[in-house]
Amino acid sequence: MPSTRRRAQAFNAQGKWIKDNTIARNIKYAIHEGDIVDDSDQPYQWTNATGAMSQLNGTTPYILGVGNHDMDAMPKGQNPAVVRDAAAFNRNFPRSGFSNLPSFGGTYPAGQNDNSFHMFSAGGTNWLILALKYAPTDDEIAWGNKVITDHPDRQVVIVTHSYQNGTTKDSVGQKLWTKMVSRHPNVTMVFSGHYVNQGVIVEKGVNGNTVHQIQADYQNPSTLGPNSYFRILDFNPTAKSVSVQTYSPYLNKNLTDAKNQFTLQNVSFPRARR
């Protein structure tokens, strides 16, 4: 099993690469799909995580999806889909650490960072990123639906930890698709992780909009390399496409197979209203 030190080095390498390339590559947002730590009751893991992510402060805005391992229930042997506390996450990544961002929109519950949304403009399009905690409850889904409905001029990207396993939605994904994703004409993408797999599902919502649902997770408890990969998405409004690369700054290596290097077509880039 990779040592704690080497795991931290890989996480730090990711944060450093994003920071160092933000201007040159015009990086508008960094998105974490959850499982920021493995054991939410281990302070050193949060120290590693905050150290890696804090490199982006003042340089690259980022948003966090809360994974099941980030929740308090996991070390207690409880079901995080039922026991929803995320006190350790909120101590280390509090709402106050994001509320001063120009792109900050709000959170649910109001005083916590469990679920959040941020807004920004890029490529002539107004965007909204909505982060929903692992296995969102009906109340959390209702809040998310209201956020999307209240911002009809925004193209919406949803990030949530568990949604699909490769090209198959899990029960959480089926619920979210039915109760949220498919209902809104301005939802463009869904990002998720959780399963050690990669895949894309492209479907039409009830309003005829194309929704690209993208899953990737590279975790491996016994060897470091796979844990160090992340996705780089290059948005091209002229071509209405998004190219996807998978790269490890720790290994300085790309994954170039069809599941990890591809281009999304027919992506909506409506012009921002003046």
What are 188's two structure tokens?
């463009």
Q: What is the token pair recorded at 27?
A: 């990086």
Half-sphere exposure of 232 (CA within 13 A, CB side): 19
One digit per residue, pLDDT tens: the chain, 274 residues?
344 555 789 999 999 999 999 999 999 999 999 999 999 999 999 999 999 999 999 999 999 999 999 999 999 999 999 999 999 999 999 999 999 999 999 999 999 999 999 999 999 999 999 999 999 999 999 999 999 999 999 999 999 999 999 999 999 999 999 999 999 999 999 999 999 999 999 999 999 999 999 999 998 888 888 999 999 999 999 999 999 999 999 999 999 999 999 999 999 999 887 5
pLDDT of residue 1: 37
Distance between CA 204 and CA 182 in Å, rounded?
Answer: 7
pTM of the model: 0.96
Q: Give the integer Cα–Cα distance in Å for 94 and 98.
A: 7
8 Å CB contact between 261 and 254: yes
d(CA 169, CA 226): 23
What is the per-residue pLDDT for 274?
57
Q: How far is CA 245 from CA 11, 223, 253, in A?
A: 18, 22, 11
CA angle 197/17/189 to nearest 5° reads 45
pLDDT of 5 reads: 55
- Provide the token pair at 67: 């994974």
HEC sequence for 100-128: CCCCEEEEECCCCCCEEEEEEEECCEEEE
- What is the CB neighbour count within 10 angstroms for residue 269? 20
Token pair in block for residue 106: 């709000």
User: Apex CA 204: angle with CA 117 and CA 116, to 5°?
Assistant: 10
